């Protein structure tokens, strides 16, 4: 009788191990970014004011295993950068300057890329709040550096929605124009080293 119980216990453990192994080896689903439904907003400040606008996604994807996000890569087309708070001549001048070598050197570096390297679920995250700690490699102007931020990522039917807001230190990517860290005597022409991005990604199978 003891042998039967022991064999049954071993069989149960074996089945549990196999089931766990199969679940961990389950192939992740890939959700393609809907570029028309996704937004990438930038906000930058300077001593005398602030500007904001958008850059459009060119492509990207999010991988999900069951209901758990596991990774993703997102590309933005730097040539689409715009400014929403200026009109006419001043709008054109600012966009031209942002595309120049002083800032993003768009002629040479057409794409910026965010590649997730680590996603850690936030325990007991409240509904509507960030539920993942994200570590990613961000490439701007040909230079890559890690960034960390919290994000809200969830599935809705056959879609995955991701929302995040975080700061980027532009000087890490060799964008030093107007930076008090590198230039003295800028006065009211100084521009903040960091700018904020607010991202909403919608992806589907």
In a domain, 89, yes or no: yes
In a domain, 138, yes or no: yes
In a domain, 71, yes or no: yes
How do residues 139-154 score in pLDDT, each as one tens digit? 999 999 999 999 999 9
- Cα(149)–Cα(82) distance, integer angstroms: 24
Average pLDDT over the chain reads: 90
How do residues 110-169 score in pLDDT, each as one tens digit? 999 999 999 999 999 999 999 999 999 999 999 999 999 999 999 988 999 999 999 999
In a domain, 6, yes or no: no
The domain spanning residue 114 has which CATH number?
2.40.128.110
Instruction: Find the mean pLDDT for residues 47-72.
Output: 97
Residue 17 in this model has a pLDDT that exceeds 70: no
3-state secondary structure of 183: coil
| Structure confidence at residue 193 (pLDDT) | 98
Number of domains in the chain: 1
In a domain, 5, yes or no: no
- pLDDT bin (cut points 50, 70, 90) of residue 28 is confident
Domain that holds residue 49: 28-204
Instruction: Find the mean pLDDT for residues 61-66.
Output: 96
In a domain, 86, yes or no: yes
């Amino acid at each position: 009788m003891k042998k039967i119980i022991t064999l049954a216990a071993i069989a149960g453990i074996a089945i549990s191990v196999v089931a766990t192994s199969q679940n961990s080896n389950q192939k992740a689903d890939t959700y393609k970014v809907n570029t028309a439904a996704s937004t990438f907003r930038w906000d930058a400040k300077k001593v005398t004011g602030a500007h904001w606008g958008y850059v459009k996604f060119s492509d990207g994807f999010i991988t999900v295993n069951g209901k758990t996000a596991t990774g993703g890569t997102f590309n933005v087309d730097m040539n689409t950068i715009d400014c929403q708070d200026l009109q006419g001549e001043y709008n054109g001048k600012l966009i031209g300057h942002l595309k120049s070598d002083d800032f993003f050197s768009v002629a040479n570096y057409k794409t910026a890329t965010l590649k997730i390297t680590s996603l850690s679920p936030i325990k007991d995250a409240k509904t509507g709040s960030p539920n993942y700690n994200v570590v990613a490699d961000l490439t701007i102007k040909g230079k890559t550096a890690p960034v960390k931020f919290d994000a809200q990522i969830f599935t809705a039917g056959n879609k995955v929605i991701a929302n995040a807001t975080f700061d980027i230190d532009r000087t890490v990517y060799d964008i030093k124009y107007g930076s008090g860290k590198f230039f003295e005597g800028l006065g009211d022409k100084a521009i903040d080293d960091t700018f904020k991005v607010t991202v909403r990604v919608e992806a589907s199978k």
